[in-house]
Amino acid sequence: MTSSLSPIHLAIALDGTGWHPGSWRQPHSRAAEVFSGAYWTDLAREAEHGLVDFVTIEDSFTVQGASPLDPTPVPGGGRLRGRLDASLLASFVATRTEHIGLVPTITTTHTEPFHVSKNLATLDHVSNGRGGWRVQVSGRPGEAEHFGRRRIPGFFDPEASSEEKSARVNELFDEAADVVEVVRQLWDSWEDGAEIRDSATGRFIDRDKLHYIDFEGDFFSVRGPSITPRPPQGQPVVTALGHATIPYELAARGADVLFVTPHDDDSAARILGEVRDAEARVRADETPLLVFADLEVVLDTPEASGAQRLTALDEAAGQEFASDALIVTGSVTELAALIGRWQALGYGGFRLRPAEHAVDLPLITGSLVPLLQEAGAFRTAYDQTTLRDRLGLPLAANRHATAS
Amino acid sequence: MPKQVILGAHFPGVNNTTVWSDPRSGSHIEFESFRRFAQAAERGRFDFLFLAEGLALREQRGHIHDLDVVGRPDTLPVLAALAGVTEHLGLVGTINATFNEPYELARQFATLDLLSQGRAGWNVVTSSDAFTGANFRRGGYLPREQRYARAQSQVTANRHLWDSWGQDAVVADREAGRFTDGPAGEFAYASEFFDIHGTFNTPRPPQGHPVIFQAGDSEDGREFAARTADAIFTGHGSGDDGRAFYRDIKRRLACYGRRPEDLKILPAATFIVGGTDDEAHRISDEVRRQQVSGQTALLILERIWNRDLRDYDPDGPLPDIEPETQPGTLIQGRVQHVKDPAAEVARLRELARDKNLSLREVAIEISARQNFVGSPETIADALIDAVETGVSDGYILVPHITPGGLDDFVDQVVPILTERGALRSEYAEGSTLRDHLALGAARPATDWEAGSAAGQADLSGHESASHDLPSHDLTEQKESA
């Protein structure tokens, strides 16, 4: 790789025993512990050991599908099945880590924006400013049936015309944009310093610093203010994964960080262009989106090449691995070279999805990170900062704060 | 050997019980306060910590109420974080049955139970007011009389979801390629309130079902508890009032095929520990003055008069106007328990006349003395006596200082309770919250439904229970639930 790079951001995407559906069957997978706090604590600490910016934790309102590309729940007992609630897991892990950012997935389609807002504000309080959110919509009919409140025919409905499908997608993402807006407004609904404890007047708060948001949209209305005071970061970091224009626009409307899935150098350049176009159309925030490329990683070990490991994982899963993101097999040197090339295109960070947590995560923290550090492309210690600071996001000013 | 005294620790809430003006009073938001409080409770080998919930900031006279502690972090993430810094303490959270959906709630509680290795509890409360509903997708949609019907159905749906995975469903057999064996999430549940089916995605909690608490006092609330709950958080905590409540609730259990020991009765209890009884009483008087400032006194009386009293002098006499008897919107976001304002006002006037009290002094007088005031020996005796004589199965202590308000009790009263055999000397290894409370194994949802149906059939000849007006003190505690 080239000898000097400018600093990049690294995130680790955690999911089950790793992103490959065959990963749970591997010798050190700890598959039986995947519903324990100790297992997730160890993963977060390993990532923290590698000084990575943050971990994301996947979640959904249904059991796992066959692959990241095929979300249809797999019947029978042959797949890793089940999840802990990612947001609660993040608050638990916060008490057992010191620096790493914690970014749980919380969906927007069946949840209450008021609950989502205070849940994430609390994660930020518990972690002293390390909280974030991966926004996700639920487009699957099965998840809607788990709630029984609305019918969602789904993205994959073979009966639907392309116009109908597109309208459904638009509706889900418009709703998600409203959810993000409400969550952010609720975070600002308490100004900093609202708690005054003024014994002279007997007042605990200055209620002029609390604000009703009175949000009214097409999907719901929320009055506010939040019951939870403003989180330490003001605005915890909002992230989203996108594969097409509509989600790019959702991110451009409300997110700080966007994860995208280029498959080669050409698509990496093209996608970034599309994202910047989407920002030009809809982004109000002056700070541009921080764009991360997602990569599935299956790295070389002393015993086996990444390619050999992928074959073995595919055999364990009984099917070839399919992913929305590029599957990188090879050495950490090759991965570092790819990171360098895409960084040069304008990517600010990379979210790595370990095929096997037990194998690929220690390779990232123990081999890739030192390599990037040598090239001057990665921090050599954590600063005492919030996640926003670490990502270079500006201080979040409160929309209600009166200019002093 | 006396009966075991069950002990819960209520994190100080947003009532005037909590004295925020005391120099020792710390943050109600920072996690450090919760950690300290929980670790004190665990040091005292308490059964559980208890968190209240609020879903809309309170208003009085059309403004956000600003005299008491305002704001709190979200219940479930705080409990999940506490699971990370405690080992044995039960973690009970108040969550509204109205503004949540079973699939999400069941996986949140299952997650808390898994993370804490069997220490989760859910205090089920209800609300139906449009004021709270304005923060939610559904709005204030639920007729008041359906609150408990929905809560009943909500808990039943949750129990079905927790039952949808077998206790040993996760086998993680790598060699054979079997991650799960047997039932692993398939469910269907339909009622007047929910129609849901599919696959639940969180494994069965270690306790089978988290412990269910109930905290309402109405006839419907009591019946809901008898039918559905493992424990009751109540304000009926002393003497004959407590015994009457205790008997009433335990009597109801038989209708549903349940034994008296299947439902624990746990009143809220405020307390003041002093070196001597006299010292404790002196501290108690001081704390009560701190809890009821002149401004707070006016607000307390507004809840009885149901009128704007801000022009009255707290140090002057009681208002000479009559109370408003029609329900209004002066007070929002609080449970109102004053059922006969005219009679209550007459009683207060008599009190003021007899003892020559100012408006503020009346408010202090009715803001009820702490339930337990005295030396450590006196308090330990009183707790043991209450449990021995059928007032309760234990207490949920409500300190007035955050986060250190439990320390005196833990350091001075707990050793006496332990010595007298009324409190465990160590937590039993691997003991869950169900184990702490001596509740049996979780019964399947279908079993609860069968018991419930039998009880419904019996209810045709069932006498309605007493409708005692709770004390003012109770009202304060209930609001925080």
pLDDT, tens digit, 9 for 90 and up, residues A275-289: 999 999 999 999 999
Range 161-220 of A in CB contact (< 8 A) with B: 190, 195, 197, 199, 201-207, 210, 219-220
A104 reaches B (C-beta below 8 A)? no
Residue whose tokens read 């995407």 = A13
Q: At what angle do helices A86-94 and B75-83 cross, to 10 degrees?
A: 50
Facing residue for A145 by CB, picked from B64, B198, B202: B198
- Token pair of B238, please? 């002393």
Helices (H), B229-313: 239-253, 277-291, 294-305
Say if CB A328 and CB A298 are below 8 A apart. yes
Question: What integer pLDDT is reported at residue B391 of this predicted model?
Answer: 97
Cα distance between residue B392 and residue B267, in whole Å: 7
Question: What integer pLDDT is reported at residue B467 of this predicted model?
Answer: 30
Task: Count interface pairs A-B at CB distance under 8 A.
Answer: 224
The pLDDT tens digits for B240-263 are 999 999 999 999 999 999 999 999
Q: Which chain A residue has its CA at the smallest distance from B292's CA? A: A202
Helices (H), B71-164: 75-83, 102-115, 130-133, 147-163
Question: What integer pLDDT is reported at residue B459 of this predicted model?
Answer: 52
Range 114-173 of B in CB contact (< 8 A) with A: 114-116, 134-137, 139, 165, 170-172
Chain A contacts of B55, Cβ < 8 Å? 114, 227
Whether the per-residue pLDDT at B314 is higher than 90: the answer is yes
Strands B195-199 and B186-190: antiparallel
Average pLDDT over every residue of B345-371:
92
Residue whose tokens read 């249904």 = A62
Whether the per-residue pLDDT at B307 is higher than 50: the answer is yes
Q: Using only C-alpha atoms, what is the Rg of chain A?
A: 21
Whether the per-residue pLDDT at A315 is higher than 70: the answer is yes
Contact criterion met (CB < 8 Å) for B293 and A221: no
Given pLDDT bands bounded at 50, 70 and 90, which one contains residue B458? Answer: low
Question: What integer pLDDT is reported at residue B451 of this predicted model?
Answer: 84
Facing residue for B80 by CB, picked from A62, A92, A149: A92
Domain ranges of chain A: 9-141+235-390
**Coil, strand, or helix at residue B119?**
coil
Chain A contacts of B109, Cβ < 8 Å? none
Question: What integer pLDDT is reported at residue B340 of this predicted model?
Answer: 86
Rounded to 5 degrees, what angle do the CA atoms A65, A69, A74 make? 15
Whether the per-residue pLDDT at B207 is higher than 80: the answer is yes
Chain B contacts of A125, Cβ < 8 Å? 29-31, 73
Contact criterion met (CB < 8 Å) for B293 and A202: yes
Measure A320 CA to nearest chain B CA, in Å. 16
Spatial CA neighbour of A349 closest among A3, A4, A7, A48:
A7
**Cβ neighbours of residue B75 under 8 Å, at least 6 residues apart?**
B51, B52, B53, B93, B94, B95
Instruction: Give all domains of chain B, ordered by start, each with its CATH number.
Output: 6-276+370-479 (3.20.20.30), 293-366 (no CATH)
Chain B contacts of A105, Cβ < 8 Å? none
Measure B73 CA to nearest chain A CA, in Å. 5
Spatial CA neighbour of B255 closest among B443, B455, B60:
B455
Average pLDDT over every residue of B405-430:
97
pTM for this predicted structure: 0.94
Whether complex ipTM tops 0.90: yes
Whether the per-residue pLDDT at B481 is higher than 60: the answer is no
Spatial CA neighbour of B425 closest among B1, B45, B6, B88:
B45
The pLDDT tens digits for B136-173 are 998 877 888 888 999 999 999 999 999 999 999 999 99
Task: State how far the alpha carbon of B208 is from the alpha carbons of A271, B105, B386, B434, in Å.
Answer: 48, 15, 31, 10
Residue whose tokens read 């007493």 = B466
**What's A75's DSSP letter?**
P
Say if CB B123 and CB B213 are below 8 A apart. yes
Contact criterion met (CB < 8 Å) for A110 and B101: yes
B296 reaches A (C-beta below 8 A)? yes
Question: What integer pLDDT is reported at residue A75 of this predicted model?
Answer: 78
Spatial CA neighbour of B264 closest among B149, B434, B79:
B434
Q: Which chain B residue has its CA at the smallest distance from A318's CA? A: B177
Task: State how far the alpha carbon of B191 is from the alpha carbons of B104, B338, B445, in Å.
Answer: 17, 34, 14
**Coil, strand, or helix at residue B184?**
strand
Question: What integer pLDDT is reported at residue B128 of this predicted model?
Answer: 73
Which of B24, B55, B115 is the best mutation test for A, with the most CBs of A within 10 A?
A: B115
Chain B contacts of A24, Cβ < 8 Å? 172, 174, 179
Contact criterion met (CB < 8 Å) for A81 and B185: yes
Question: What integer pLDDT is reported at residue A155 of this predicted model?
Answer: 64
Helices (H), A213-345: 245-254, 265-282, 306-317, 332-345
Contact criterion met (CB < 8 Å) for B55 and A227: yes
Cα distance between residue B105 and residue B93, in whole Å: 12
Q: How many CB atoms lie within 10 A of CB B203?
A: 28
Q: Which CATH class is domain A9-141+235-390?
A: alpha beta
Spatial CA neighbour of B316 closest among B352, B350, B368:
B352
Measure A109 CA to nearest chain B CA, in Å. 11
Q: Which chain B residue has its CA at the smallest distance from A78's CA? A: B178
Handedness of CA B61, B66, B68, B69 (dihedral sign): positive
Which of B170, B201, B310 is the best mutation test for A, with the most CBs of A within 10 A?
A: B201
Q: What is the DSSP track for A345-389? A: HT--EEEEEESSHHHHHHHIIIIIHHHHHHTT-S-SS--S--HHH
Contact criterion met (CB < 8 Å) for A63 and B67: no
Residues facing residue A239 across a β-bridge: A134, A257
Contact criterion met (CB < 8 Å) for B81 and A94: yes
- Token pair of B113, please? 């139970």
Chain B contacts of A114, Cβ < 8 Å? 55, 135-136
Mean pLDDT over all residues of chain A?
A: 94
Measure A371 CA to nearest chain B CA, in Å. 34
Residues facing residue A290 across a β-bridge: A257
What are all long-range contacts of B169-172, with beta carbons under 8 Å and residues at least 24 apart? B169/B203, B169/B204, B170/A32, B170/A35, B170/A82, B170/B203, B171/A77, B172/A24, B172/A31, B172/A32, B172/A34
The pLDDT tens digits for A106-156 are 999 999 999 999 999 999 999 999 999 999 999 888 999 999 988 887 666
Q: What is the DSSP track for B16-60? A: TTS--SSTT---SSSHHHHHHHHHHHHHTT-SEEEE---SS--EE
B12 reaches A (C-beta below 8 A)? no
Given pLDDT bands bounded at 50, 70 and 90, which one contains residue B328? Answer: low
Measure B57 CA to nearest chain A CA, in Å. 6
Cα distance between residue A81 and residue A63, in whole Å: 6
Residue B99 exposed, middle or buried by CB count within 10 Å (0-12, 13-18, 19+): buried
The pLDDT tens digits for A61-74 are 999 987 777 777 77
Average pLDDT over every residue of A45-57:
98
Which of A17, A145, A227 is the best mutation test for B, with the most CBs of B within 10 A?
A: A227
Return the minimum-mean-pLDDT range out of A340-354, B29-43, B88-102, B313-327: B313-327
- Token pair of B438, please? 């001596």
Contact criterion met (CB < 8 Å) for B201 and A32: no
Contact criterion met (CB < 8 Å) for A94 and B63: no
Question: What integer pLDDT is reported at residue A201 of this predicted model?
Answer: 87
Q: Which of A36-45, A376-385, B60-69, B363-372 has the highest mean pLDDT?
A: A36-45
- Token pair of B165, please? 């995975």
Which of B74, B158, B173 is the best mutation test for A, with the most CBs of A within 10 A?
A: B74
A269 reaches B (C-beta below 8 A)? no
Handedness of CA B191, B194, B200, B203 (dihedral sign): negative
Question: What integer pLDDT is reported at residue B478 of this predicted model?
Answer: 37
Q: How far is CA B262 from the centre of its chain?
A: 18
Contact criterion met (CB < 8 Å) for B104 and A80: no
Contact criterion met (CB < 8 Å) for B114 and A148: no
Given pLDDT bands bounded at 50, 70 and 90, which one contains residue B337? Answer: low
Given pLDDT bands bounded at 50, 70 and 90, which one contains residue B206? Answer: very high
B441 reaches A (C-beta below 8 A)? no
Handedness of CA A59, A64, A67, A71 (dihedral sign): negative
Given pLDDT bands bounded at 50, 70 and 90, which one contains residue B473? Answer: very low
Contact criterion met (CB < 8 Å) for A94 and B73: no
CA end-to-end distance (rounded Å), chain B: 33
Cα distance between residue A350 and residue A355, in whole Å: 15
Whether the per-residue pLDDT at A339 is higher than 70: the answer is yes
Question: What integer pLDDT is reported at residue B470 of this predicted model?
Answer: 31
**What's B176's DSSP letter?**
T
Spatial CA neighbour of B233 closest among B461, B6, B410, B56:
B6
B198 reaches A (C-beta below 8 A)? yes
Cα distance between residue B46 and residue B417, in whole Å: 11
Structural element, H or E, at residue A120? helix A113-126
The pLDDT tens digits for A188-222 are 999 999 999 998 888 999 999 999 999 999 999 99
Whether the per-residue pLDDT at A42 is higher than 50: the answer is yes
Chain B contacts of A146, Cβ < 8 Å? 103, 196-200
Task: State how far the alpha carbon of B384 is from the alpha carbons of B297, B368, B420, in Å.
Answer: 34, 22, 9
Task: State how far the alpha carbon of B472 is from the alpha carbons of A49, A132, A381, B303, B366, in Å.
Answer: 54, 43, 56, 11, 6
Say if CB A155 and CB A166 are below 8 A apart. no
Helices (H), B399-471: 407-408, 414-419, 433-436, 445-458
Higher pLDDT, A168 or B7: B7
Q: What percent of chain A has pLDDT over 90?
A: 86
